[in-house]
Amino acid sequence: MAKPLTTPRGRVGRAIERARKPDREKMDVHKQRVPFWFVFALLFVLASYQIVMNPFGFSDLTQRYTQDVSELLITGPYLYPRTGHEKVSVALISENTLHLTDTGWPWKYGKHAIALDALLALQPKAVVVDFLFVDQRKDDGTLPDLLEEIDRYKKQGVPLYFEFANDVPDGANAVLPQLAKKNVTFLDPTILVNHGIVRQYPIEGKCFANGKVGGTCPSLALRVYEDLYHKKPRVSPEGLMELVWGTRSDPINAKWMHLTDEKGRLRSCELNLGFWRRIFLAFFDTDAVKSRCPYSSIIPVESLMRGDNDADVAHLAKDRIVFYGGGLEGAQDKSFTPVNGLQSNVFVHAMAMDNLITLNGKPEQNVVEIGGMTFDSNPVQVAAIIPVIIILTWIHMRRLRRERQKREEPRRGELLEYFVEKLAEQAWHWLGFGLALGAGLVLTLAAGLSVANWVEVVFVAVELAAMLLFRVPDTIWGYIRHVIGEIELLENNPQEESVT
């Protein structure tokens, strides 16, 4: 008898040989006995890696694209309530305003005073001035007119807000000195741009007090909401506000907004698209489904300057928060939004205020607070995927058990079973999609996360369902068990590898 080949070198060598040339029949046997814990662990590791590590940045791009499509298809046109829309308006200075009033830009302080005075006469709830008054300039002495207008607002008890420049060099003025002496609230006008599009809004900004910029204060929309509604928004300062963009433009906007296409033809603000056509265009011609007019109600400033007795203008101003800003061609104060083309940043502030009012001071964020601690979306998504993985794994194990039973028991009704299994395979992806979608909706309702911060759960769940459909965990287990498991057999029965 020859000496048994049980040395480590021999066992390792045979394991390497099995790894290079596995026995398919033995692997198939092991595949049918894959344990629950292995399937769960493998799926959990893969899901966690994709969610947390964001390989190649694909997850971020997918999340934001899905958020944009969701707002174009579902959230904007159908799900987002109109509560805030009825309480927020924008008084807009446009090219048409300059043309009809025969004025150039920039306006004199006195012109702004006339517009603000006309707004005050319409009894707004508050007015936010979205212009920066920073530099001294020759103005024919109309600055006192603007300062006197501020006093009129105070006298009538209408809050009036101005903005300050938050990026000026040290020692430079952030606000016109004469204006800074007025006892008004100055706000940080910061706008956040994500991959070229405004999707988020800051929770905090800089402060302006005693002629200096510094410290931390609520951002523009949050400060105005807190002042006017006498309660602090329920937000975490460690995160950002996820803007929900409405798509149904106020019908009154079509009354004075004159839009032209690339051929110079007049176009309407209204987009008369059916549900299925909207879905098709959202994926294949996104620009065609975007709103041509802003969501917020627009008050044309030229109407204020002329003193028109317009019932629509009066309706859009009375007891509303009015953002007074500009939408001029060539101005740098513009950004792209998910549901519009390029539009003035004043509409970003108006939409943020709309969100706060509509969602009752609890806007969607990219973080969530649990037990007094703040977490970003990644650990929350990992936690949300766990029950989905458990259910998918449990169903997969039942499927394997049925297959083993069919091999051991007499087979009946094979044709019916064949069709049932085929239908189950087709439904497998939809099962994963439905489970993850349900988990995402729970995160939206319970934790206030936006679509962009949980949609990765849906994509990952579909991927995991596909892996189970093609038996990827089973194959990996069968391979590992065949290579490693045979070593265990050798250790227990060394005589099986003896050479006579």
Q: Are residues 421 and 461 in the same domain?
A: yes
Which tokens belong to 284? 């294949």
Q: Which of 473, 381, 363 is nearest to 436 (CA)?
A: 381
SS3 396: helix
Q: What is the DSSP string of 288-331?
A: HHS-SS-SSEEEEHHHHHHT---HHHHHHHTTSEEEEEEE-TT-
pLDDT given at position 210: 82
What is the spatial distance between Cα 454 and Cα 384, in angstroms, rounded to a whole number?
9
pLDDT given at position 216: 94
Please state, in angstroms and as integers, the Cα–Cα distance from residue 456 to each residue in 133, 286, 453, 474, 484, following that order: 44, 22, 7, 25, 35
Pairwise pLDDT comparison (304 vs 11), residue with the higher score: 304
Q: Are residues 322 and 466 in the same domain?
A: no
Does the residue 151 lie in any domain? yes
Q: Are residues 92 and 27 in the same domain?
A: no
Per-residue pLDDT, averaged over 237-241, amounts to 91
pLDDT given at position 285: 75
Residue 499's pLDDT band (cuts 50, 70, 90): very low
Q: How many CA atoms lie within 13 A of 8 on its CB side?
A: 0
Other beta carbons within 10 Å of 346: 27
26-29 LR contacts (CB < 8 Å, sep 24+): 26/482, 27/475, 27/478, 27/479, 27/481, 27/482, 28/478, 29/478
Other beta carbons within 10 Å of 419: 9
Residue 146's pLDDT band (cuts 50, 70, 90): very high
Alpha-carbon torsion angle 354, 232, 193, 257, nearest 10 = 20
Q: Residue 403, exposed/middle/buried by CB under 10 A (0-12, 13-18, 19+)?
A: exposed
pLDDT given at position 314: 94
Q: Are residues 178 and 202 in the same domain?
A: yes
What is the spatial distance between Cα 71 and Cα 69, in angstroms, rounded to a whole number?
5
Does the residue 436 lie in any domain? yes
48-57, 87-96, 140-149, 488-497: which range is least confident on average?
488-497
pLDDT given at position 154: 95
Per residue in 180-217, pLDDT (tens digit) is 999 899 999 999 987 778 999 999 999 998 888 889 99
What is the spatial distance between Cα 172 and Cα 169, in angstroms, rounded to a whole number?
6
SS3 94: strand
Per-residue pLDDT, averaged over 119-131, amounts to 97
| Average pLDDT along the chain | 82
Per residue in 64-81, pLDDT (tens digit) is 777 787 788 778 877 889
Does the residue 31 lie in any domain? yes
Q: Are residues 377 and 357 in the same domain?
A: no
Q: Are residues 97 and 56 in the same domain?
A: no
pLDDT given at position 490: 46
pTM reported for the whole predicted model: 0.81
Q: Are residues 361 and 409 in the same domain?
A: no
Q: Are 388 and 432 in contact (CB under 8 A)?
A: yes
Helix, strand, coil share (%) of the chain residues, nearest 5: 55, 15, 30
Does the residue 2 lie in any domain? no
What is the spatial distance between Cα 77 and Cα 59, in angstroms, rounded to a whole number?
26
Sequence-distant (6+) residues with CB within 8 A of 397 are 36, 39
Alpha-carbon torsion angle 162, 167, 173, 176, nearest 10 = -20
What is the spatial distance between Cα 145 and Cα 112, in angstroms, rounded to a whole number?
9
Q: Are residues 123 and 164 in the same domain?
A: yes
Domain end (from 365, 399, 420): 365
Can you give the C-alpha Rg of the chain in angstroms? 32
Per-residue pLDDT, averaged over 100-110, amounts to 90
Domain end (from 365, 396, 426): 365
Residue 356 has pLDDT above 70, yes or no: yes
For the chain, report the end-to-end CA distance as a whole number of angstroms.
Answer: 5
pLDDT given at position 479: 86
Number of domains in the chain: 2
Does the residue 357 lie in any domain? yes
Residue 312 has pLDDT above 80, yes or no: yes
Pairwise pLDDT comparison (482 vs 39), residue with the higher score: 39
Does the residue 24 lie in any domain? yes
Residue 116's pLDDT band (cuts 50, 70, 90): very high
Per residue in 441-478, pLDDT (tens digit) is 666 666 666 666 677 777 788 788 888 888 899 999 98
Per residue in 367-419, pLDDT (tens digit) is 877 777 787 878 878 887 888 888 888 888 888 887 777 766 655 555 555 55
Per residue in 420-447, pLDDT (tens digit) is 555 655 565 566 667 666 766 666 666 6
Does the residue 69 lie in any domain? no
pLDDT given at position 176: 92
Alpha-carbon torsion angle 323, 344, 59, 459, nearest 10 = 70
What is the spatial distance between Cα 275 and Cα 279, in angstroms, rounded to a whole number?
6
Q: Are residues 323 and 468 in the same domain?
A: no
Per residue in 297-308, pLDDT (tens digit) is 999 999 999 988
pLDDT given at position 230: 94
Q: Are residues 198 and 317 in the same domain?
A: yes
Residue 497 has pLDDT above 50, yes or no: no
Q: Look-up: residue for tokens 């904007």? A: 76
Residue 282's pLDDT band (cuts 50, 70, 90): confident
pLDDT given at position 79: 82
Domain end (from 341, 365, 389): 365
Does the residue 270 lie in any domain? no
Where in the sequence is the domain holding 343, given as residue range(s)? 80-257+293-365
What is the spatial distance between Cα 454 and Cα 466, in angstroms, rounded to a whole number?
20
φ and ψ at residue 267, rounded to 5 degrees: -125, 150
Q: Are residues 170 and 204 in the same domain?
A: yes
Per-residue pLDDT, averaged over 130-153, amounts to 90
Per-residue pLDDT, averaged over 166-176, amounts to 83
Q: Are residues 202 and 335 in the same domain?
A: yes
Cα dihedral sign, 258-286-441-457: negative
